[in-house]
Amino acid sequence: MLKQLRPAISVLAFMTLVTGVAYPLSVTAIAQLAFAEQANGSLVRDSQGEVRGSSLLAQPFSGAEWFESRPSAAGFATVASGASNLAPSNPALAERIAADAQRLQAEGQGAVPMQLVTTSASGLDPHLSPAAAQFQIARIAAARGIAPASLERLVEQHVEKPLVGPAVVNVLALNLALADNSPPAKAE
Protein backbone atom coordinates (compact mmCIF):
# COMPACT_ATOMS: atom_id res chain seq x y z
CA MET A 1 0.00 0.00 0.00
CA LEU A 2 2.85 2.40 0.82
CA LYS A 3 4.22 1.60 -2.64
CA GLN A 4 1.04 3.09 -4.18
CA LEU A 5 0.61 5.95 -1.72
CA ARG A 6 4.09 7.45 -2.19
CA PRO A 7 3.68 8.22 -5.95
CA ALA A 8 0.15 9.56 -5.34
CA ILE A 9 1.35 11.94 -2.62
CA SER A 10 4.32 12.98 -4.78
CA VAL A 11 2.08 13.76 -7.75
CA LEU A 12 -0.35 15.64 -5.49
CA ALA A 13 2.49 17.74 -4.02
CA PHE A 14 3.98 18.40 -7.46
CA MET A 15 0.65 19.42 -9.01
CA THR A 16 -0.13 21.60 -5.99
CA LEU A 17 3.16 23.45 -6.49
CA VAL A 18 2.63 23.79 -10.24
CA THR A 19 -1.04 24.76 -10.28
CA GLY A 20 -1.26 26.45 -6.87
CA VAL A 21 2.04 28.33 -6.76
CA ALA A 22 4.07 28.43 -9.99
CA TYR A 23 1.19 29.07 -12.42
CA PRO A 24 -0.50 31.86 -10.39
CA LEU A 25 2.85 33.56 -9.75
CA SER A 26 3.81 33.43 -13.42
CA VAL A 27 0.42 34.76 -14.57
CA THR A 28 0.63 37.57 -11.98
CA ALA A 29 4.17 38.46 -13.06
CA ILE A 30 3.22 38.55 -16.76
CA ALA A 31 0.12 40.64 -15.98
CA GLN A 32 2.14 43.13 -13.91
CA LEU A 33 4.79 43.45 -16.62
CA ALA A 34 2.56 43.57 -19.69
CA PHE A 35 -0.71 45.02 -18.39
CA ALA A 36 0.08 46.76 -15.10
CA GLU A 37 -2.81 49.25 -15.23
CA GLN A 38 -5.44 46.61 -15.95
CA ALA A 39 -3.94 44.12 -13.47
CA ASN A 40 -4.21 46.73 -10.73
CA GLY A 41 -7.88 47.54 -11.32
CA SER A 42 -7.86 50.19 -14.09
CA LEU A 43 -7.93 52.90 -11.43
CA VAL A 44 -9.00 56.43 -12.35
CA ARG A 45 -7.28 59.29 -10.54
CA ASP A 46 -8.36 62.90 -10.25
CA SER A 47 -6.17 65.91 -10.98
CA GLN A 48 -4.60 65.64 -7.50
CA GLY A 49 -3.69 61.99 -8.07
CA GLU A 50 -6.28 60.55 -5.67
CA VAL A 51 -8.08 57.36 -6.71
CA ARG A 52 -11.70 58.15 -7.56
CA GLY A 53 -12.81 54.77 -8.90
CA SER A 54 -12.20 52.25 -11.64
CA SER A 55 -12.88 52.76 -15.32
CA LEU A 56 -14.42 49.26 -15.31
CA LEU A 57 -17.01 49.79 -12.55
CA ALA A 58 -19.93 52.16 -12.32
CA GLN A 59 -20.50 54.18 -9.20
CA PRO A 60 -23.39 56.29 -8.03
CA PHE A 61 -23.53 60.03 -8.60
CA SER A 62 -26.24 61.97 -6.86
CA GLY A 63 -27.32 65.49 -7.54
CA ALA A 64 -28.60 67.31 -10.56
CA GLU A 65 -25.11 68.62 -11.37
CA TRP A 66 -23.63 65.20 -12.28
CA PHE A 67 -24.06 62.74 -15.12
CA GLU A 68 -25.79 59.65 -13.76
CA SER A 69 -24.79 56.05 -14.47
CA ARG A 70 -27.21 53.29 -15.31
CA PRO A 71 -29.23 52.13 -12.30
CA SER A 72 -27.77 49.25 -10.30
CA ALA A 73 -29.90 46.44 -8.89
CA ALA A 74 -27.18 45.83 -6.28
CA GLY A 75 -26.71 49.45 -5.23
CA PHE A 76 -23.33 49.57 -7.01
CA ALA A 77 -21.88 46.98 -4.58
CA THR A 78 -19.33 44.81 -6.36
CA VAL A 79 -19.87 41.82 -4.08
CA ALA A 80 -23.59 41.65 -4.77
CA SER A 81 -23.38 42.63 -8.42
CA GLY A 82 -25.95 41.25 -10.79
CA ALA A 83 -29.26 41.87 -12.36
CA SER A 84 -32.46 42.27 -10.36
CA ASN A 85 -33.93 39.12 -11.93
CA LEU A 86 -37.29 40.84 -12.11
CA ALA A 87 -39.31 39.68 -15.09
CA PRO A 88 -40.51 42.32 -17.56
CA SER A 89 -44.04 41.56 -16.37
CA ASN A 90 -43.18 42.19 -12.70
CA PRO A 91 -45.04 45.23 -11.34
CA ALA A 92 -42.09 46.19 -9.09
CA LEU A 93 -39.83 46.55 -12.14
CA ALA A 94 -42.43 48.57 -14.02
CA GLU A 95 -42.92 50.86 -11.00
CA ARG A 96 -39.18 51.44 -10.56
CA ILE A 97 -38.69 52.20 -14.24
CA ALA A 98 -41.67 54.57 -14.27
CA ALA A 99 -40.39 56.39 -11.16
CA ASP A 100 -36.88 56.73 -12.63
CA ALA A 101 -38.27 57.93 -15.95
CA GLN A 102 -40.44 60.53 -14.24
CA ARG A 103 -37.48 61.74 -12.15
CA LEU A 104 -35.28 62.10 -15.25
CA GLN A 105 -37.91 63.47 -17.61
CA ALA A 106 -37.42 67.07 -18.63
CA GLU A 107 -39.87 69.15 -20.60
CA GLY A 108 -39.28 69.16 -24.35
CA GLN A 109 -36.64 66.40 -24.30
CA GLY A 110 -38.61 63.44 -25.52
CA ALA A 111 -38.49 59.97 -24.03
CA VAL A 112 -35.87 59.04 -21.44
CA PRO A 113 -33.24 56.70 -22.96
CA MET A 114 -33.68 53.09 -21.81
CA GLN A 115 -30.12 52.97 -20.48
CA LEU A 116 -30.98 55.53 -17.82
CA VAL A 117 -33.86 53.49 -16.39
CA THR A 118 -32.75 49.85 -16.91
CA THR A 119 -29.91 48.03 -15.19
CA SER A 120 -27.12 46.24 -17.00
CA ALA A 121 -26.57 42.50 -16.52
CA SER A 122 -23.86 43.07 -13.92
CA GLY A 123 -25.37 46.20 -12.42
CA LEU A 124 -21.94 47.81 -12.67
CA ASP A 125 -21.70 48.92 -16.31
CA PRO A 126 -19.60 52.14 -16.27
CA HIS A 127 -20.63 53.25 -19.75
CA LEU A 128 -23.57 55.02 -21.34
CA SER A 129 -24.33 55.63 -24.96
CA PRO A 130 -23.52 59.16 -26.13
CA ALA A 131 -27.27 59.75 -26.56
CA ALA A 132 -27.96 58.84 -22.91
CA ALA A 133 -25.20 61.21 -21.77
CA GLN A 134 -26.48 64.00 -24.03
CA PHE A 135 -30.00 63.54 -22.66
CA GLN A 136 -28.70 64.68 -19.25
CA ILE A 137 -27.07 67.88 -20.54
CA ALA A 138 -30.11 70.15 -20.03
CA ARG A 139 -30.45 69.13 -16.36
CA ILE A 140 -26.73 69.51 -15.63
CA ALA A 141 -26.47 72.83 -17.47
CA ALA A 142 -29.37 74.23 -15.44
CA ALA A 143 -27.94 72.93 -12.14
CA ARG A 144 -24.43 74.26 -12.80
CA GLY A 145 -25.34 77.41 -14.70
CA ILE A 146 -23.23 76.28 -17.65
CA ALA A 147 -24.04 76.72 -21.32
CA PRO A 148 -25.32 73.43 -22.80
CA ALA A 149 -22.90 73.80 -25.73
CA SER A 150 -19.88 73.46 -23.41
CA LEU A 151 -21.34 70.27 -21.91
CA GLU A 152 -22.02 68.91 -25.40
CA ARG A 153 -18.35 69.45 -26.27
CA LEU A 154 -17.32 67.73 -23.03
CA VAL A 155 -19.46 64.69 -23.86
CA GLU A 156 -18.06 64.59 -27.41
CA GLN A 157 -14.50 64.66 -26.02
CA HIS A 158 -15.25 61.61 -23.87
CA VAL A 159 -16.87 59.41 -26.51
CA GLU A 160 -14.92 56.16 -26.81
CA LYS A 161 -15.17 54.05 -29.95
CA PRO A 162 -14.23 50.47 -29.07
CA LEU A 163 -12.92 48.03 -31.64
CA VAL A 164 -16.19 46.11 -31.44
CA GLY A 165 -19.57 47.55 -30.50
CA PRO A 166 -21.17 50.98 -30.37
CA ALA A 167 -19.60 54.19 -29.13
CA VAL A 168 -19.77 54.70 -25.34
CA VAL A 169 -19.04 57.33 -22.71
CA ASN A 170 -17.41 56.44 -19.39
CA VAL A 171 -19.52 58.24 -16.76
CA LEU A 172 -16.75 58.43 -14.14
CA ALA A 173 -14.29 59.99 -16.59
CA LEU A 174 -16.96 62.41 -17.77
CA ASN A 175 -17.82 63.50 -14.22
CA LEU A 176 -14.14 63.89 -13.29
CA ALA A 177 -13.66 66.13 -16.31
CA LEU A 178 -16.77 68.05 -15.29
CA ALA A 179 -15.38 68.49 -11.77
CA ASP A 180 -11.99 69.64 -13.10
CA ASN A 181 -13.48 72.22 -15.47
CA SER A 182 -14.00 75.62 -14.04
CA PRO A 183 -17.40 76.96 -15.01
CA PRO A 184 -17.13 78.85 -18.30
CA ALA A 185 -18.86 82.14 -18.91
CA LYS A 186 -22.61 81.72 -19.45
CA ALA A 187 -22.52 83.51 -22.82
CA GLU A 188 -20.62 80.74 -24.60
Domain enclosing residue 50, as ranges: 42-85+119-180
The predicted-structure confidence for 117-166, as pLDDT tens digits, reads as follows: 888 877 788 899 999 999 999 989 999 998 999 999 999 999 999 999 99
Tens digit of each residue's pLDDT (9 = 90 or more) over 14-70: 999 999 999 999 999 999 999 998 888 888 887 788 888 888 888 888 888 999 988
pLDDT at 52: 84
Looking at the structure, tell me whether residues 25 and 46 fall in a common domain. no
User: Would 47 be classed as within a structural domain?
Assistant: yes
Total domains in the fold of the chain: 2
Q: Does any domain span residue 4?
A: yes
The answer to whether residue 80 is domain-embedded is yes
C-alpha pair distances (Å), 2 with each of 10, 12, 13, 26? 12, 15, 16, 34
Please list, residue by residue across 91-109, b when 16 or more beta carbons sit within 10 angstroms of its beta carbon and e when fewer do. Answer: eebeebbeebeeebeeeee
Q: Are 67 and 141 in a shared domain?
A: yes
Average pLDDT over residues 72-96: 79
Reported confidence tier of residue 96, pLDDT bands at 50, 70, 90 = confident
Domain shared by 71 and 164, yes or no: yes
Mean pLDDT of 65-87: 79
